[in-house]
Chains A and B, each alone.
Chain A
C-alpha cells in the first residue's frame, strides 16, 4: 500500500466518507482508507476537504483514520486472462477472493485482476522489426487467450514510438517485458498489461453507421425489433417480466464475438446460474463453450453500493478493450436502474440537491455518457469492432414514466418494453409488440435484402399491420363479443393469436426453441403470412373459420418452433405444401 497520506477521515456516512486535511489528492484518484486499506475514489475536492466514495463496507472506519493516495485514477488491468473470469464491480477476481477469504467477502482484501503466474504463448506480429514506427493501438503480437478468442496485444492508445525491442515467440507472464517503444519521453517498456481508467472512453479512429444486425436468435427481437451491432437498447420491465432471462438468452445465443455480462445490484444466484450454465453450453457458431467468450462482472445487491456504480463502467471499458482488438462485443447491464439508484444513494449521502424522485440532476448526463460508449468503429489498430449495449431497466412499480426509464429512452435507439400482462399470462419473452420499437430497422433493411431479398421486410410489415388491426378489433369484441364480427375479421384475431403462440412466444428452456437462426425465423414468418393470405381467400370463398382452424397443418404451425430444428429448415417447405393442400381441399368442398 502507498504510504502517501493525502488526508484523514472526518465523517463516515455509509459508503461516503468526508475527508479533512487534504493536501495533494487529485480528483478521481484511487485511495485506500484506514489501516485495512478499503478501496475508494475521490469524487469531490473543496478547500482542504474531500469526499471519498468507498467501494467496500465501511464498518469500523473512524474519524482520523488515514487516507492513502495512489496517484492514479480507478483503472482496470487489461490483458490476456480476462475472458472466462468473474470479477466484482472494481475488477477484483471473485474466484481468487474465494481462495483468500472464503465464502464471505471480507473487507480490505485485494487480488490482482490478471493472474501473474499464468504463462501465455506470445507470437510477435510478423512484419515488425526494430526501428518500426508504431502508432497507438498497433498490434504487437497475439496470444490465444481462450479456445475462441485470440488476444491481440496492442500498443496502449495513449502511447506510440519506435520499436526498439520485441520479445521473440515464447511463453510469457502478463507482466513480463515484451516490447520497448522509444518515444519523445524516452524509452517505454511494455508488458501485456495495459491500464485504463474506467470513466474515460477509449479512443477510436472513427465511427461508422450501424448497418449490420446483432442477431440474438430471439424471434421477437430479430424479426420485429432488431438491434444493430454497435447499437443500444433498453429492456424495461417490472419484476418478473423477464429482463434477466432475455439478457441471458442474448448472452448465450447472440452472434457477437464476446459477451460482457454485468450483474449490477441483482441476485447472487443469477450469477451462479451463469457460472454453472455457460461453461456447459456450446456457442453454435464457434462450437466452443460459451464461457470461452464471456466475461462476468458480479456486483450483486448485497455487495457494496458504490461498487455497483463503478461496475457498469468497468464492464464497458472491458468491452472497448476487446473492440479495439477488432471484436464485436455485447455488453449486458442488469440492471441499470440499480446503478442509477446507487448514484442516488451516494448523491443523497453527499447532501446534494435532488432533482426528480431523489435522483441527482446529473442522472441524464451519466446515462447518456454510458450509452455513448457503444458504437461500430474503426479501431486505432486498423480493424473494425463494435460495442453494443443492452441495458435492463427496473422501473419502480413497473411504471415506465419514472426518471430512469424516461431518460434512458432519450439515449437509446431501440426499446424492448416488457409487459406485465404478457408475463402474467406466461407469454415469454414478454416483449410488447405495441410499445417496443427499433430505430435501426431502416438501416438494417439493406442487409436483409442482400441476404434474402425483399421478403423479410414485406412479411414483417404485413404482420405488424395485422397486430395493429387486432387491437382495434379486440376493442370491439370487448364491447359486443366475438360473435358480432364477421369471419373475415375474426380471422385477423385468429391469425394474430397464432402468430403470438407460434412465433413470438419462445421458450428459453426448450432445447430446440431457445434460439432460432434467421433462416428459421424467416421461414416461420413466411408460413404464417402464407396462412394469412390463403385463409383470407378461403374465407371469401365461404370457408368458415372453424373449419379453417381445424386444418391439420394449421395445428402443426403452432408447434413448428419445437418440431423443426434450426438445421432442418427444409421441413418448412413440406409444411407449407401441406398447408396449401389442406386449404385447397377445404376450398374444393365450398366451391
Chain B
C-alpha cells in the first residue's frame, strides 16, 4: 500500500533525525544486556552502537523498548563496559549486512566483518539480517536430486536441492567429516552448476574451522566458500547473529545471483544455548529445560530461510549440524529442529563404536523431500520401493537382534538368521564407506539389492514383481 509506505518512510525519517543522538550512561548492565533510560522513542529490534570508554563501537540490537527503558543486546559482549562510561547510539534502522559475490573466498566474524586481514569487501547492497518470511506462494517445491556419493544418504535419505536436512550428532562423532564430504562431493546428476558454500560456525573450536577450511582447500573450492566464524572464544552472544549473517549472504547469492548455495551451520546447540542465556537473564518464563518458549519460532526463522523460489535460478540447501546433549534425540534442540526441518540424518554412537562410517542410524533418519526427487527419470525406477524395503527389513533386523540378545542367537529361526546376515551386510557394506569414497547412485542402489538377496523373495513385500525380476532374480541367473 503506497500510502502506508510513505507514512512509514515519514516516521522512519523522523526517527533517523533523532538517531544521531548519543546517550551517556547505562542504568544497568547484565551479561550481554545493556539497559538505557530516558531515550527518545526507540524502535523494536533497532540497530544500536554501544561505545566503550576507549571509543570502540560495539553493535547491538533492541530487545525490548518502552518509554521508560530500552534493553539492548550487545553482540560483541559487554566486557569492559561501565555504567557511566557507556555511550549508546540508536541507529533508527535494523541490523543490515552489506553483501556481494566478492564475499566468496573470504572469512568473516559473526557480524560479517573480515577476519582474514583483507579489506571489507565492497557491498552491492545492504540487506536486513533478520530476513523476511518467504511467501509460501512464491516457493518452488524442491525436487532435484543431489548426489552426495554417500549410500546411506543417496539411497535411504536422499538430499534434495533446496532442502534443510540437519545432522543430529553427538560429541566426538564424525559429523564434521560427513558435512565436509557432502560439501565436497555434492553434485547434480548431469552436470556442474554454479554453486557456493556458506559456512557458519557458532561456538566451535578453531580446529573445527581449520578442518573445514582445509577440506575446501583440498577440493580446490575455497574460492566458492564464505566463512562466518564465531568461535568458542568469541562472545557467546555473537552466535545469535552469525547464522543470520550467513543466511543473508546466502539469500543474496541464491536469489539475486542465481547460485546454488549450500549452507553448513555448526553447532546449532551452541546457538540455542546462547538464546537460553539471554532468555534466562531477562527472567522469561521458560518452557522445557530452561529454553525459551519461542525457541521453535526462532529456529524456524533460520531454517525456513532455505528452499527455492519460483522463477529464480538459485537455491539454498541447509545442512545444520547439532550435537544432541547426552545423545538424547528428545532434547528440545534436536526435537524442535526435527519439527521444522525436512528430515534428519541421525548418528548412532554404537555404530561409530563398531567402526562404521558414517554412523547413520537406519531407522530414525529421514528425508521428507526424498519422495518427489527419486524414482524414474530422477534416480532409478526401483529406488522408492527398494528404499522402503531396506527400511522395513532393517527394522526387522533390530527386532531379531533384541530377541537374540535374550534367547541367544542359536535359538533363532533360519529366517531370522538370514535377517541377521542381511543386517550385517547392510551396515558393513552399504552404510559403511570411506571418507572420500564417492559412490554413484547406481552403485548405491545395486548394493541395496545385493543386501536384499540375502533374504528370501517372499519376504520382500514392498517391491513389485517386476522389480524382483529385474534386480533380484535377474542378476542371480547370470
Contacts and interface: CB of A to CB of B under 8 A. Distances in A.
Contacts of B134: 103-105, 268, 302
B136 A298 contact: yes
A239 B64 CA distance: 33
Interface string A522-553: 00000000000000000000000000011000
B65 A11 contact: yes
Interface in A549-579: 549-550, 555, 558-559, 562
Contacts of B133: 104-105, 300, 302-304
A501 B461 contact: yes
Interface of A: 1, 9-14, 18, 20, 34-37, 57-65, 86, 94-95, 97-98, 100-106, 108-110, 238-240, 263, 265, 267-269, 271-273, 275-276, 298, 300-305, 338, 341, 344-345, 348, 354, 357-358, 394, 396-399, 424-427, 477-483, 501, 509, 549-550, 555, 558-559, 562
B197 to A, nearest CB: 22
A37 B94 contact: no
B135 interface: yes
B11 interface: yes
Interface string B443-478: 000000000000000100100100000000000000
B322 interface: no
A10 B67 contact: yes
A61 B15 CA distance: 11
A105 B335 contact: no
Interface stretch (B75-83, B107-115, B295-303): B295-303
Interface in B384-417: 384, 388, 391-392, 395-396, 402-403, 406-407, 411-413
Interface string B47-76: 000000000000000001111100000000
Contacts of A103: 134-135, 138, 255, 309, 312
Given A12-B65, A483-B411, A110 B4 contact: yes
Interface string B2-36: 01110110111001000000000000000000000
B135 A104 contact: yes
B193 interface: no
A482 B411 CA distance: 9
A240 B366 contact: yes
Q: In terms of DSSP, what is the predominant structure of the interface of chain A?
A: mixed
A440 B309 CA distance: 44
Contacts of B132: 57, 104-106
Interface stretch (B203-211, B261-269, B285-293, B428-436): B285-293
A94 B297 CA distance: 20
B424 interface: no
Contacts of A34: 8, 11
Interface residues of B, number: 85
B342 interface: yes
Interface stretch (B139-147, B220-228, B350-358): B139-147
Among B8, B312, B336, B402, chain A packs the most CB atoms within 10 A around the CB of B8
Contact of B403 (A304, A477, A549, A555): A477
A261 to B, nearest CB: 12
A550 B457 CA distance: 12
Contacts of B141: 269, 272-273, 276
A354 B285 CA distance: 8
Interface-centre pick from B130, B135, B300, B331 (highest chain A CB count, 10 A): B135
A396 B304 contact: no
B311 to A, nearest CB: 9
B186 interface: no
B284 interface: yes
Contacts of A341: 293, 296
